[in-house]
Chain A
Amino acid sequence: MTGFPTHLLSMDDLDGDAIGDVLRVTDSFAEVGRRANPKVPALRGRTVATLFFEDSTRTRMSFETAAKRMSADVLSFSAGSSSVKKGESLRDTIETIQAIGMDAVIIRHSSSGVPARVAEWVDHCAVINAGDGWHQHPTQALLDLYTVRQSLGGGQEGLDRFDGLRVTIVGDIRHSRVARSQITAYAALGAEVTLVAPATLLPPSLEGWPIAGVRHDLDGVLATTDVVSLLRLQAERGSGAYVPTMREYSAGYSLTARRAMQLPPEAIILHPGPMVRGVEIASEVAELPSARITDQVGNGVAVRMAVLFLLLGQGTLEGDAA
C-alpha cells in the first residue's frame, strides 16, 4: 500500500495509486456490510467527530454508520445545537474539540476552505472534508468511482484504471463541490471527462481542469457516454438566476426517458442526491436498472469506512478489517 495523506481535504490529495488503495479497501468493507453483524474492531478506542455546520442527513448518517461499523466512538456536533449558535468562533470550536481529544473530525461547512483551515489548526487529528461550499466533496467522488468500478465488472478483482471511459457530467458545475471532486477523481484514473451545462453554470475559468471538453447540448454527447453523472440545480446557492426558467433548463439538460435511450446499452446513470425529479432527471429514468443511485448510497458507507481506515488504521487490512 502506498502512502496515504494525513487529511482528506480534496481529491487533489489523492493520486491514482491512493485512489486504488481506497477502492481495494472498500471491497473488504463492502463485504463487512453484507454480514449479519456488520461490525469490525478496526477503530476500537478511536474517537471520531462529525462536525456539520451545514445540514445534511445522508452524508452525516453515512459517515457515522461507517465509523460505528468500525467500532469507533462517534461524537456528533451540529451547528444548530452547539455553542456555534452562541457566537463561538470556528477556531474556538475546533480548539475545544481538539482539547476533548479526537482522532478524526469530519467537517461539512457552507464556506469553501473551512476543512483546509481546520487542518492547519489541529495536531494529531485527521480532517475529512464532508463537503465545503462549492469546493470539494471527496468521499462523494470516491463512492462514484467505486460504483462505476462495480458496474464495469469490478468486485474483489475490479479495475483500478478507467482509461478510455467516457464520463459526462451534466448540470450546475459552477456551484458544485461534487463536480470539482469528480472531475479530478475520474481524470486521475484516466477517464475522459466532458462537462455539459449552459455557459452560465460553468465555472468562470476552466484553466488547468483535466477535462476533454465542454458542450452545451446534452443530446450531442449521450451516444458516446459510458457514465452520465447528473448534478442538482442548486437553487439554494442562487443558481436559479443563472438560467431563465427551470422549464428551459429541463428542456435542454434534463435526462429524460427519450434522452436516456440514446445512451449505449452498458452505460450507467449516477446522481449524488438529493434528486429533483423532473428537473435534472425524469422520474422514470431514476428507476431504470442503469441508474445506480441507490448503489451509490450503499457504497458510500463502505467507501467512508475505507477512508477512515486508511487515515486512522494502524494495523493491516487483513488483520483488522476482515
Chain B
Amino acid sequence: MSGTTTATPEVVIRGGTVVDRTGERRGDVRVVDGWVVEVAEDLAVPAGATVLDAGGCLVAPGLVDLHTHLREPGREEAETVESGTRAAALGGYTAVVAMPNTDPPLDSAESVRNVFALAEGAMAEVAVAGAITVGRSGERLAPMAELAALGVRLFTDDGDGVQSAGLMRRALQYATGLGVILGQHCEDRSLAAGGTMHEGAWSSRLGLPGMPSEAEEVMVARDIALSRATGGRVHFLHLSTAGSIDLVRRARADGVPVTAEVAPHHFTLTDGCTKGYDPVFKVNPPLRPQTDVDAVKAALADGTADAIATDHAPHAPELKDLPFDQAPPGMLGLQTAFALAVTELDLPLARLLALLSWQPAVIAGLDPDHGGAHGGPVAPGAAANLCVVDPAATWTVDPTALASRSRNTPYAGRTLTGRVRHTVLAGEPVVIDAEAQR
C-alpha cells in the first residue's frame, strides 16, 4: 500500500476486541477498498490510513435492523431514507430492512425499485420488506415472485396483520416456492380494533380503550398452525406478550419453522408509562405489564427470540401532540437500541451482538451465506460492514440531538450505558467518535 493520497480508502481499527459469530479475540482490523484484509494484534498503520481508536471497545459486524420505518415515500416530514439511515449508522447499523407501509406501499416492483434508488449512497444498506398483499389491504397477494427477483427476502403487511387465515395460508404456500419469509404483525383486528394501549389495570384506570394480549396471541397461534401445515417460514414481528413467547418457544421445540424478534421498548418500558397520557409512549403492539417485559427478557436469554429489532417509527411532533387516542403509534429506536440492550439486559455482550447483528442478518437474508455482506465473521475477505461499540460509555438521550427528522423517543433524559463509537459501511467510516461523517 502506498498511502500517498488521503483518498486511499484504507482504515485500521486499532486496539479493540473483535467479536463475531466465531468468538472473541484481541485484534486490529485493516480494511482496504471495502474489504477486511487483515485481523491481527498490533497491526502497523500504513501511511495515509484512517485510524479508528477501538480501545476498550468491541469490533463487531455491523448491526442489522429487521424492522425500520424509513417513511419515504409519503411521510418525508417524519423521516427520509437519508435521515433514517444516518440514524441507523449512528446506532451502529450497517443494514436496515425498510418496512412496506409507505405511501405508496412497497407492493410492486416499481415501488421497491424506487426505494432502492433512494437508498443509493445512503449511510446504511437498505433492504426492503415487500407487502404480502396488494395495498397491504389483506385481500389479494402482492406480486411476491417479482419482488423476490429484485432481492426481497422478507414480506410483511406490517402495521396490520393478515386478518384472513385463508389468505395467510395461501401466502405461506406461495412463499415456500420462492424461498422467502413472511413477517407477521400479530394483531387480530376483531379483538384490538379501537385499542390505544395494553388492555389491563392501567387502561381501565385511565379510561383508554385497550388491546388485549390475546389479540396478539390468537394470531401467533394461528400462524404457528399454518406454518406447521404448509412448511412456510413465519417471522413474528415485535412479540410483546408472555403468551406469544410461550407459543413460539413450544413451536420451535416442535421444529416448526418460525423465528421471532422483540423490540427494545418491550423489554424496557411498561404500560404504566402511559399514565400521563403522553403519546410518546403509544406504540403498537402496546407497552405491556412487567410480567410481559420479564417474558420478553427471558425470550432473549433462552433463544426463543432470534433478534432485537427496533420498530423505529418516526412521527412528526404535531402528531404526537394529539390526544393519546388520536396520536399515531410508534417510537424512534435506531440510536438507542444497542445502549438499551446493554443497559437493560443481563446478557453477555457477544450474545447481545448476536441478537443485534448476525442473527437478524440471517433472517433478512443479508448474511454471506445468502450472498449478503452483513453479519459474517470479521476476517480477511469479509465485506467491511462493521461497528465499534464501547460497552462502558454512558450518555444521556437528547431527542433534539438524534439524527431522525422526528423526536418521538420515549427515553428523553435517560442515561444509558453502551455507546456506538464508529460505524464502517463498505469500508467507509460513516460514523467516527459518535459523529456522522456525512
Contact = CB atoms under 8 A, between A and B. Distances in A.
A89 B207 contact: no
B201 A135 contact: no
Given A113-B208, A117-B278, A133 B199 contact: no
Interface residues of B, number: 22
B324 interface: yes
A206 B199 CA distance: 12
Contact of A116 (B210, B277, B321, B326): B277
B328 to A, nearest CB: 14
Contact of B206 (A112, A120, A208): A112
Given A112-B277, A114-B323, A209-B205, 19 more contacts: A109-B323, A111-B324, A112-B206, A112-B207, A112-B324, A113-B206, A113-B207, A113-B276, A113-B277, A117-B323, A120-B276, A133-B207, A135-B207, A136-B207, A180-B205, A203-B204, A204-B200, A204-B212, A205-B200
A75 interface: no
A89 B318 contact: yes
Interface in A187-204: 203-204
B323 A111 contact: yes
9 contacts: A89-B318, A111-B324, A112-B208, A117-B323, A133-B207, A134-B207, A204-B203, A205-B201, A209-B205
B229 interface: no
B323 A113 contact: yes
B276 A111 contact: no
A244 B119 CA distance: 54
A112 B194 CA distance: 13
Contacts of A204: 199-200, 203-204, 210, 212
B224 to A, nearest CB: 26
Interface string B14-41: 0000000000000000000000000000
Contacts of A205: 199-201, 203-204
Contacts of B318: 89, 91
A203 B200 CA distance: 9
B433 interface: no
A113 B199 contact: no
Interface residues of A, number: 25
A206 B205 CA distance: 8
Interface in A94-127: 109, 111-114, 116-117, 120
B294 interface: no
Contacts of B322: 89-90
B53 interface: no
Interface in B161-204: 199-201, 203-204
Interface string A204-233: 111111000000000000000000000000
Nearest to A119: B276
A91 B199 CA distance: 27
Nearest to B321: A91
Given A111-B323, A204-B200, A204-B212, A117 B277 contact: yes
Contacts, number: 71
Contacts of A133: 207-208, 325
Interface of A: 89-91, 109, 111-114, 116-117, 120, 132-136, 177, 180, 203-209
Among A90, A117, A208, max chain B CB count under 10 A is at A117
A180 B204 CA distance: 9
B354 to A, nearest CB: 37
B323 A134 contact: no
A241 to B, nearest CB: 11
Contacts of A207: 200-201, 204
Contacts of A134: 207-209
A132 B324 CA distance: 12
A134 B321 CA distance: 20
Nearest to A12: B205
B204 to A, nearest CB: 4
B204 A206 contact: yes
Contact of A208 (B199, B205, B276, B277): B205
A134 B205 CA distance: 9
Contacts of B199: 204-205
A191 to B, nearest CB: 19
B320 to A, nearest CB: 10
The 9 closest A-B pairs by CB, nearest first: A113-B277, A135-B207, A111-B323, A134-B207, A203-B204, A207-B201, A112-B207, A205-B204, A205-B201
A112 B200 CA distance: 16
A272 to B, nearest CB: 15
Among A90, A91, A111, A132, max chain B CB count under 10 A is at A111
Contacts of B201: 205, 207-208
A91 B279 CA distance: 13
Contacts of A203: 204
Contacts of A90: 321-323
A180 B209 CA distance: 14
Nearest to B277: A113
Nearest to A135: B207
A90 B325 CA distance: 13
A136 B275 CA distance: 13
